[in-house]
Amino acid sequence: MSEREKAIGVFDSGVGGLTVFREMMKQMPKERLIFFGDTARVPYGSKSKETVTQYSRQIIRFLKSQSVKAIVIACNTASALALDDIEKETDIPIIGVVKPGAVSASKKTRNGKIGLIGTEATISSGVYERLLHEMDGRFRIIGKACPLFVPLVEEGLIDDPVTTEIAGRYLADLIDSDIDTLIMGCTHYPLIKDTIKKVVGEKVELVNPAYETALECLEMLKEKDITNDREIELGETPYRFFVSDEAEKFKTIANMILPYGILGAKKIAIEEY
């Protein structure tokens, strides 16, 4: 298999990263994709930089054993905490979701007041803030950790008064700060974007890093001249899914996010990588 024909590896702490995977399917239909969800150790958002970096290293070793040509970290926490260190150690191109999200926000904002919501680990890492300040020192970033959003989404309370109430509390300070742009800095959040939009109002533009990340990945492949140009052959399955815990539950949630039913996911002993 030539370099071009190799798959792109995509990973997340669990299933949320499939929102990025879905965008990649849409924007680069000729590419083979491999997804790994660390469902045995999910979530990453409340864990330390050291632990998240160690887990990310193991996953990258696994993805490389599947001979991928590039890696996308489809998890805000791992992108925020681990990408800087891991980038230096990895000999294939690797991108995260943080930078594409920050670039998009920097283009959308008019008043320079940018809201950021994400996990505790993402917010306290200060990575979005650092990147945005490198682009323009006048940007003001107002961050807020929203630890209940992921469990609310996973409990299916997508359009529910409880989610609206919690969103109202989390977002009050951001609205008071007069933000005009809000980065949804966690891959689960686009699933409740209607509720978030209702709470922050029409004037605030939402940034979904999943879309921007798929776009950046495509640009990177073009720049390195490793896009796949051949059509996927009839009968070949271009998408493969791996998890660290039982595959059944993953399939159920995956089939809610992806536009088609997935046939199976393979369980991997990720600790051994």
Q: Which residues are catalytic?
A: 75, 186
CB of 120 to a copy of itself, least distance (A): 9
CA–CA separation, 28 and 160 (whole Å): 34
Closer by beta carbon to a copy of itself, 174 or else 217: 174
Kindly list the residues in this chain that would bind a copy of itself in the complex (CB under 8 A): 39-42, 46-48, 50-51, 147-148, 151-152, 154-155, 162, 165-166, 244-246, 249, 271
Q: What are phi and psi of 243, to 5 degrees?
A: -140, 165
CB of 153 to a copy of itself, least distance (A): 11
Smallest CA-to-CA distance from 206 within 186, 182, 241, 189 is with 182
Closer by beta carbon to a copy of itself, 159 or else 165: 165
CB of 80 to a copy of itself, least distance (A): 16
Task: Give how far the C-alpha of residue 273 lies from the chain's centroid of Cα atoms, to the nearest Å.
Answer: 22
Q: How would you class 185 by CB atoms within 10 Å of its CB: exposed for 0-12, middle for 13-18, buried for 19 or more?
A: buried
Task: Give how far the C-alpha of residue 108 lies from the chain's centroid of Cα atoms, to the nearest Å.
Answer: 20
Closer by beta carbon to a copy of itself, 36 or else 239: 36
Closer by beta carbon to a copy of itself, 157 or else 179: 157
CB of 155 to a copy of itself, least distance (A): 6
Q: Is the CB of residue 78 less than 8 Å from the CB of residue 58?
A: no
